[in-house]
Amino acid sequence: MTSPSDLDQLVGTWLTVPDVAQMLGVDPGKVRRLLQERKLVGVRRGTPPVLSVPADFLVPGHLANPAAPDVPSEDRPWTVLAALQGTLTVLGDDGFSDEETLAWLFGVEESLGVPPIEALRAGRKTEVRRVAQAML
């Protein structure tokens, strides 16, 4: 199991539920639903433990799908990376816990040459999911 300090080193910047809500322009309850539906994943960290989400899961709204960027818009300044949900589903189906999911997404994956989250943010979701499915 990955320790909290290991995850902190891998992930870097974390956001609390209220921070995510503010960036997305929604209420914190909506962010909790996104976590329950595994459209986002987070872990409790710090003292006292606070539910936190990696900042890299959020992207400027026009980059929701990095393979097909849109025109920047003030209406949607931030959004959840579109490729994240399907990838989280694959990892969940593989039996990964939230901590294991974060460790895999933010650790360098040899076959990708970069951490999977970087590959997702670069529009390489098919490749990332193929690697994730191969771990079964």
Each residue's pLDDT tens digit, 63-101? 878 877 777 667 668 999 999 999 999 999 999 999 999
In this structure, how many other beta carbons lie within 10 angstroms of the beta carbon of residue 12? 11
Distance CA 20, CA 26 (A): 8
pLDDT band per the 50, 70, 90 thresholds, residue 129: very high
For residue 26, pLDDT beyond 60: yes
For the segment 12-33, the average pLDDT, to the nearest whole number, is: 96
Percent of the chain with pLDDT over 90: 77
Domain of residue 121 covers 4-134
Tokens of 70: 């849109």
55 backbone dihedrals φ, ψ, rounded to 5°: -60, -30
Number of domains in the chain: 1
| pTM above threshold 0.85 | yes
Confidence (pLDDT) at 135: 83
Tokens of 131: 């690697």
